[in-house]
Amino acid sequence: MRLFNIFYSLLVVFSIHLCHGQQRIEILHQQALDILDPKGIVEELACGFAWLEGPLWVENGGFLLFSDIPNNKVYRYHNDKVMEYLSPSGFTGSADVAHQPGANGLLLDAEGRLVLMQQGDRRVARMITDINSPVPTFETLTDQFQGKRLNSPNDGVFDKSGNLYFTDPSYGLAGLDDDPAIELTFHGVYCLKINGNLVLLDTLRYANGIGLSHGEKELYVSQSSHVAPTWYKYAVDQPGTISERSVFFRPNVETLAHPNAPDGMAISQSGVVFASGPGGIWVFSPGGEALARIYMSKTASNCTLNANETVLYITASDCLLSIDLTGNY
């Protein structure tokens, strides 16, 4: 045990450096060794896109979907190969031309149908065709709040009852908060109830990534502020009803030297939170303690887990990446 403690201390002090550019794993807590292999390497699966987001693991088919927002496309990664999956993905020509036209977050509903946060069309939509037979035909799930158009739906998560929590900042619009096309003067955190009612849960400037704990007792939302990057947590009192937000984790000033702000996230069944943020991917305990950081040379936007939680897929700038996990957490 003494030798282990010495070894662990060395990990904390010096971190673990990888051999790929500026990538390295920093172990901040012993618990991280149950999640990350200290010798793990961030693998580049595919590069050469514009800006990637919205990774979604589709277990029924064993493939990964991800969004290339500027190119208005969704791609599929399967058996080490990438192919175009859906085009257009977020701007279909029925709305004003957007600064960031493509779909952002991608989700599966309870029936396994693809749901897209369509920045270009400024709506949450569902693909009409089967997940394995993609055609760019969509039905609108919601596109207005109190008679005003949404800004640019960004990321979302379903609960087990079918309620959809999502964020609606203005990143998809050319002028952001100054864009004349903006009708809502705030960035919202919403819940689209299964009865079709859209409920405003909170207003949070620069609201971005969103996730639910496995027990659906906690809702997490990232705030992509470069001045005060923060991950927030809400208690879910009942489906679609939350309590006032509290700080889940706020990086110290030192981390602001690293690029990027909090963005997308993935939450394991055990409550471990993987979140893109300053420097790369952060790994948090359910209680909000930073366990590790995966530094990367590219700007991480989002991440997702495969079904058995042994692989974390990461979208970062123009690349799709992955890192193997231990599966012991």
Question: Band of the pLDDT at 38, cuts 50, 70, 90?
Answer: confident
The yes-or-no verdict on residue 135 having pLDDT over 90 is yes
Q: CA geometry: angle at 239 spanning 193 and 224, to 5°?
A: 80
Helix (H) or strand (E) segment spanning residue 83: strand 81-86
Which tops the pLDDT comparison, 100 or 325?
A: 325
CA dihedral 186, 190, 193, 195 (to 10 degrees): 10
Q: What is the pLDDT of residue 176?
A: 66
Helix (H) or strand (E) segment spanning residue 4: helix 2-14
Sign of dihedral through CA atoms 67, 72, 73, 74? positive
Instruction: Tell me the whole-structure pTM to 2 decimals.
Output: 0.91
Question: Band of the pLDDT at 6, cuts 50, 70, 90?
Answer: very low
Q: What is the pLDDT of residue 254?
A: 63
Domains and CATH numbers, the chain: 16-324 (2.120.10.30)
- List all residues 6 or more positions away from 66 whose beta carbon is below 8 Å from its beta carbon: 52, 53, 54, 55, 56, 74, 75, 77, 106, 313, 315, 320
As a whole number, the mean pLDDT across the chain is 89
63 beta partners: 58
DSSP-assigned states of every residue in 230-254: EEEEEEEEETTEEPPPEEEE---GG
Task: Tell me how far apart the alpha carbons of residues 24 and 18 are, in angstroms, rounded to a whole number.
Answer: 5
Q: What is the pLDDT of residue 16?
A: 38
Q: What is the pLDDT of residue 131?
A: 97
pLDDT per residue over 105-122, tens digit each? 999 999 999 999 999 999
* Mean pLDDT (whole number) for 193-210: 96
C-alpha dist (Å) from residue 317 to 50, 92, 259, 280: 7, 24, 12, 11
Question: Band of the pLDDT at 235, cuts 50, 70, 90?
Answer: very high
pLDDT per residue over 46-60, tens digit each? 999 999 999 999 999
Q: What is the pLDDT of residue 19?
A: 37
Pairing type for strands 24-27 and 63-68 reads unpaired
- List all residues 6 or more positions away from 262 whose beta carbon is below 8 Å from its beta carbon: 208, 209, 222, 223, 224, 229, 230, 231, 275, 276, 277, 278
Which tops the pLDDT comparison, 8 or 144?
A: 144
Q: What are phi and psi of 3, to 5 degrees?
A: -65, -40
Residue of 121, 134, 164 whose CA lies nearest to 74: 134
CB 282 within 8 A of CB 242: no
